[in-house]
Amino acid sequence: MEQLSGKVVVVTGAASGIGLALAKKFGAEGMKIVMADIEVPALESAAASLPDSVERITVVCDVSKGEQIDALRAAAIDAFGAVHIVCNNAGVGGGGAMSDMNIDDWKWVIDVDLWSVIHGVRVFLPGLIEQGEGHIINTASVAGLFSAPFMGPYNVAKYGVVALSETLCNELAMQQSAVGVSVLCPSWVKTKIASSVRNKPGATAEEADALAEFVQPMIDGGIDPDTVADRVVEAVKAKQFWIITHDDTPGAVTLRTRSILDGTNPPQLMH
């Protein structure tokens, strides 16, 4: 999609971080924005931060629930009549040793980080195909390309997003569809993911503090969300599948691939 002005984009996780940066960047391209998030005050504040010239609506949405993604699409169609780009971006973090995790730890991360993307594709894809144009951007991570220790649920979810996106890309190519797909695989970005446990049902302060202590130093050294958003818009215009934002990612992927080809144990890589 080279021409974005006047088109409609849906962005989940739009209250902060990469999602808010995407909303601002697509708005600067003249697009109409549907901003979705589970955090109401933050979502309204984020929407207010966009220039007055940008048409936008906000939709409160728990992306882990399929019926709320159905409602999100309905709200977008009611407001703007169509959807052209879908950013399945909302996500949470989660860390710790697998030996210490219970089923709720796994379910929360996978519901938000993987099932939300499945729901987004299921709900929005048929309409994109029917209208003969569109683009889906699924936010994965370098955690979908190689696996760091103590991030089991997150790694599993992000590998799933990459696999889903690759499969969808090939299906659309075989169907000769004009709909494009991109998978976004950033490393550390200056977002609020370190505090995402605040939205986990039943989470304790100790659990939230443990995740923040583990990942915050890496986040502080991360790139700016605006840089990520710039790459995404470039990829949409070029119909580019892989969106790699960090220079050291190809080297890490090469090490993992070499271990597969050589039949050796996986390299101990850190995100």
The residues that are catalytic are: 154
Q: What's the rounded Cα separation, in Å, for the pair 58 and 228?
A: 22
Q: What's the rounded Cα separation, in Å, for the pair 116 and 161?
A: 10
Answer yes or no: are the C-beta atoms of 139 and 18 closer than 8 Å: yes
3-state secondary structure the chain: CCCCCCCEEEEECCCCHHHHHHHHHHHHCCCEEEEEECCHHHHHHHHHCCCCCCCEEEEECCCCCHHHHHHHHHHHHHHHCCCCEEEECCCCCCCECHHHCCHHHHHHHHHHHHHHHHHHHHHHHHHHHHHCCCEEEEECCHHHCCCCCCEHHHHHHHHHHHHHHHHHHHHHHHCCCCCEEEEEECCCECCCHHHHHHHCCCCCHHHHHHHHHHHHHHHHCCECHHHHHHHHHHHHHHCCCEEECCCCHHHHHHHHHHHHHHCCCCCCCCC
Whose tokens are 């100790």? That residue is: 206
The tokens for 24 are 């601002």
Region of residue 201 (phi > 0: left; psi between -120 and 50: alpha; otherwise: beta): beta
